[in-house]
Every structure is written in structure tokens, then in C-alpha cells.
């Protein structure tokens, strides 16, 4: 029997302290989750191999607070080769956020890396969780599994049809989570994140690059005509959903849920919001549309509201203002 030690209640948003693992702990979302888990009193083991997809020094900075906390332990290891049976011994919840993100590099020779870091790494996490009877495995899936969806807001039951090799690997890993639940009872929960933004956002993502371009007055390469629409979701809201997905008792193993902001906007509108938050317009360099970019994303949140009581609460304007303030502080610190 799998048992969850979580005593979480939605009324208090609290549970007794537990021993938990966060994979991808040094990344944008993973490090924000680590800080939240430590603030709530848990013993946190963070696993990360500091891939060079972007500057590993930024990942070190993400963990600078956590590393001063004696309830945090960093294991620098690659999930593809690490002894995960040992790492998951006595662990209540594994939040599996490690992965190779980004659409553009997933073509051509880049695909092997996506396959290894997204599919194979997840299969190893699930095998070890099965052996060690981990109480809950939360997997960070993606809205990219939908591709150009059949309707908006997209429901979890709508047919996933990825439009990029990245999306294929995220969907394959999600299928693994569902089938480990169905065959072995591993208590997995997958969250399909929709375009996450906020402080520590990855430097390859649009809001981060737009903010830099507005501050430095350098041209932003805009692929397509700016009409691509996204459901932007603030990182603290995403972390809140992620926490609930790991802690809420009695969630059906294999459940898949959207984590989508409720405020959708086009790239052109986002450019305007960033310009206003920074106080000067973003210079634009127009480029043709990029392969693999879906024209629109936006998910229904009815399921996650019903199961986890979650809904996004941060407005895009407030979230972008927080990200601009964090970026300015980073630049000032050097
Ligand atoms: N940021 C978004 O908008 C978004 C949207 C949908 C899904 N996701 C998913 O959420 C997760 C976190 O995304 P992020 O934006 O924080 O990315 P990120 O690149 O900032 O974080 C991922 C971390 O995982 C680590 N990592 C990768 N492969 C590893 C391995 N084999 N072993 C150990 N560590 C490894 C990297 O070093 C990195 O620190 C990813 O799985 C991503 O696919 C993100």
C-alpha cells in the first residue's frame, strides 16, 4: 500500500513537516518551490546537475537563500545516472521539475538531449519512486503537449497534439506518469504548466528578454506578427498549485491538471505591459514565425479548482512589475 504522510488541509494550507525531494531544484520554478517548502518547515533535498542550457551561475544564485538553511541539502547529480533508490529512501513527496525546457533547440540533433533529460530521466524517477514507495510524485508537464489545441480554454480531456519535439517529450513523460499509476499504483500527479513568468524566469523566455531589451534599449527579435496568444501564469501561483498537488491527500493516482493563468494576452500586448512597467518602450526587430511555436495556449482550470481548490490570483501587470523589480535588483547587485 502507498500511503501519504501529508496532513495538508486546504483551510490552513499547512501540513506537518515532511522529508521531500525537488528535482531541478536550482531552476526557475524548482528554486522558487524550494524556498516555499523551506518556509513551510519541510526538510528539502534538492537534486540538480546544473545543465548549461543557460548560465549555471544564475542557478547558483537561485539557491543562495536555500543554501543558508540547514533543512536544505543540495545533491549535485544527473537523474539519468544518479542512484535514485538511495536518494528517495524515506522520502514522502518527490516534486519532479528537472527537465530540458524550450522549444527552439528541440529540433535536429538537439532532440537526443530532450529525449534523455525529459523522458529517460522521468522513467528513472518513477522506477525509484516505485521501489521506495514514495507517497506522491508530482511531475511538471507543459501546455506544449496540446500544440495548436482543438479549442480554448483547452480541457485536460482534449486530444494532446504537440507541435514541437519538446512537447512530444513532455507528453511521453506524462504518459509514463499515468501508466506507472495505472500499472503499479505509483501516486503520480501531473501539472500542465502554461507559460510561467516572474522573478528568476529563464533567460530564454519572452518576458525576461523583453525586460532586458526595454532596460538596455536593444531590439527584441519578435518572431511572427505578435498575435501569438498565451495564458501567462505567475510563478508564485504555479508554486502554490505545485505545492497543493504534492500535499493534498486522496488525489487519484495518474491525475493530470492544467495550471493556467486566467489572463491571456498576445505577445504584442505583453510588449506594451513590459514597456509600461520598465518606463520605456521595447525596441522591436521583426522576424518570420518560428517553427514549433503554437499560435495560442490557454487552459481550463475547472479540474484543478475542483480537485485542489486552486486558481491563479496574480494579475499580469502585478506579476510583470514584480519581475521587473527583481531584474533591476539583480542588475544593481552586479
Ligand atoms: N517555465 C515554464 O514556463 C514551463 C512551462 C511548462 C513546463 N515547464 C516545465 O517545468 C520544469 C521547470 O522549468 P523551468 O522553467 O524552471 O526550467 P529550468 O531550466 O530553469 O529548470 C530545470 C532544472 O532542471 C535541471 N536538470 C535538467 N535535467 C536534469 C537532470 N537530468 N538531472 C538533474 N537536474 C536536471 C537543470 O539544471 C535546471 O536547473 C521543466 O520540466 C519544464 O519542462 C516549464
Per-domain boundaries in the chain? 19-194+235-261+293-311
Q: Is 58 in the pocket of ligand 1 (CB under 6 A)?
A: no
Q: Which of 114, 146, 166, 197 is catalytic?
A: 166
pLDDT of residue 9: 77
3-state SS record for 100-133: CCCCHHHCHHHHHHHHHHHHHHHHHHHHHHHHHC
* Residue range 262-288, pLDDT digits in tens: 889 999 999 999 999 999 999 999 999
279 vs 334, more confident:
279
Specify the pLDDT at position 290.
83
Grid look-up 490557454 returns 298
Residue 166 a catalytic site member? yes
| Ligand 1 contact via 204 beta carbon (within 6 Å) | no
Measured from the CB, is residue 79 less than 6 Å from ligand 1?
Answer: yes
Rounded CA separation 263/182 (Å)? 34
Mean per-residue pLDDT over the chain, rounded: 95
What is the per-residue pLDDT for 152? 94
What confidence score (pLDDT) does residue 334 get?
A: 80
Return phi, psi of residue 296, to 5°. Answer: -155, 145
Across 90-116, average pLDDT? 95
Q: How many angstroms is it from 265 CA to the middle of ligand 1?
A: 24
Residue 24 in contact with ligand 1 by CB distance below 6 A: yes
Measured from the CB, is residue 166 less than 6 Å from ligand 1?
Answer: no
Residue 10 in this model has a pLDDT that exceeds 90: no
Regarding the beta carbon of 48 and ligand 1, being less than 6 Å apart is answered: yes
The atom of ligand 1 lying closest to the CA of 100 is 27
Nearest alpha carbon, ligand 1 atom 32? 78
pTM of model > 0.95: yes
Judge whether residue 12 has pLDDT over 80.
no
Is there an atom of ligand 1 within 6 Å of 80 CB? yes
Mutate to test the pocket of ligand 1, among 26, 53, 98 (most ligand atoms within 8 A of CB): 98
> Residue 314 — very low, low, confident or very high, per pLDDT cuts 50/70/90?
very high
Name the CA radius of gyration of the chain, rounded.
19
Q: Is the CB of 21 under 6 A from ligand 1?
A: no
Give tens-digit pLDDT for 182-233: 999 999 999 999 999 999 999 999 999 999 999 999 999 999 999 999 999 9
Question: In the predicted model, is pLDDT for residue 6 greater than 90?
Answer: no
Cell triple for 312: 491563479
CA of 280 to the centre of ligand 1 (A): 31
19-194+235-261+293-311 topology per CATH: Rossmann fold (3.40.50)
For residue 205, what pLDDT is reported?
Answer: 95
pLDDT grade, residue 37 (50/70/90)?
very high
pLDDT for 70-81, tens place per residue?
A: 999 999 999 999
Q: Which of 2-6, 35-39, 91-95, 120-124 is the least confident region?
A: 2-6
Nearest CA to ligand 1 atom 26: 98
Closest CA to 146 of 250, 231, 234: 231
User: Is the model's pLDDT at 103 over the cut of 70?
Assistant: yes
Element (H, E) at 326: helix 316-333
Nearest residue (by CA) to ligand 1, atom 10, is 140
Pick the atom of ligand 1 nearest to 30's CA: 16
Q: Which of 24, 49, 77 to mutate to test ligand 1, by most ligand atoms within 8 A of the CB atom?
A: 24
pLDDT at 13 over 70: no
Confidence at 130, pLDDT banded by 50, 70, 90: very high
**Measured in angstroms, how far is the CA atom of residue 279 from the centroid of ligand 1?**
31
Residues 6+ apart with CB under 8 A from 23: 30, 47, 48, 79, 94, 95, 96, 97, 98, 121, 125
* Ramachandran angles phi, psi of 116, nearest 5°: -70, -50
Residue 267's SS3 state is helix
Bridge partner list, 286:
222
pLDDT greater than 70 at residue 42: yes
In whole angstroms, what is the distance from residue 309 CA to residue 229 CA? 26
Amino acid at each position: 500500500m502507498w500511503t501519504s504522510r501529508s496532513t495538508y488541509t486546504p483551510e490552513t494550507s499547512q501540513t506537518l513537516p515532511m522529508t521531500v525531494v525537488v528535482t531541478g531544484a536550482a531552476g526557475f520554478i524548482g528554486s522558487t518551490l524550494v524556498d516555499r517548502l523551506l518556509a513551510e518547515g519541510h526538510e528539502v533535498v534538492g537534486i540538480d546537475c546544473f545543465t548549461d542550457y543557460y548560465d549555471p551561475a544564475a542557478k547558483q544564485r537561485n539557491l543562495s537563500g536555500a543554501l543558508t538553511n540547514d533543512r536544505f541539502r543540495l545533491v549535485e547529480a544527473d537523474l539519468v545516472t544518479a542512484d535514485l533508490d538511495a536518494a528517495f529512501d524515506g522520502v514522502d513527496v518527490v516534486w519532479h521539475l528537472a527537465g530540458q525546457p524550450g522549444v527552439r533547440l528541440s529540433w535536429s540533433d538537439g532532440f537526443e538531449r530532450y529525449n534523455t533529460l525529459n523522458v529517460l530521466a522521468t522513467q528513472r524517477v518513477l522506477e525509484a519512486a516505485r521501489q521506495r514507495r514514495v507517497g506522491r510524485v508530482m511531475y511538471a508537464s507543459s501546455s506544449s503537449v496540446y500544440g495548436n489545441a482543438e479549442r480554448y480554454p483547452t480541457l485536460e480531456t482534449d486530444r494532446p497534439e504537440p507541435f514541437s519535439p519538446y512537447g512530444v517529450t513532455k507528453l511521453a513523460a506524462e504518459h509514463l506518469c499515468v501508466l506507472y499509476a495505472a500499472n503499479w499504483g505509483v501516486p503520480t500527479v501531473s501539472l500542465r504548466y502554461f507559460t510561467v513568468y516572474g522573478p528568476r524566469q529563464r533567460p530564454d523566455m519572452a518576458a525576461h528578454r523583453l525586460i532586458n531589451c526595454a532596460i538596455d534599449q536593444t531590439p527584441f527579435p519578435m518572431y511572427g506578427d505578435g498575435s501569438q496568444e498565451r495564458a501567462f501564469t505567475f510563478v508564485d501561483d504555479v508554486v502554490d498549485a505545485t505545492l497543493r498537488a504534492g500535499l493534498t491527500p486522496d488525489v487519484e493516482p495518474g491525475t493530470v491538471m492544467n495550471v493556467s493563468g486566467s489572463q491571456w494576452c498576445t505577445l504584442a500586448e505583453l510588449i506594451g505591459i513590459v514597456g509600461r512597467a520598465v518606463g520605456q518602450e521595447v525596441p522591436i526587430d521583426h522576424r518570420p514565425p518560428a517553427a514549433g511555436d503554437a499560435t495560442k495556449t490557454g487552459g481550463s482550470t475547472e479540474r484543478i479548482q475542483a480537485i485542489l481548490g486552486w486558481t491563479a490570483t496574480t494579475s499580469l501587470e502585478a506579476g510583470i512589475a514584480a519581475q521587473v523589480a527583481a531584474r533591476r535588483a539583480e542588475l544593481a547587485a552586479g
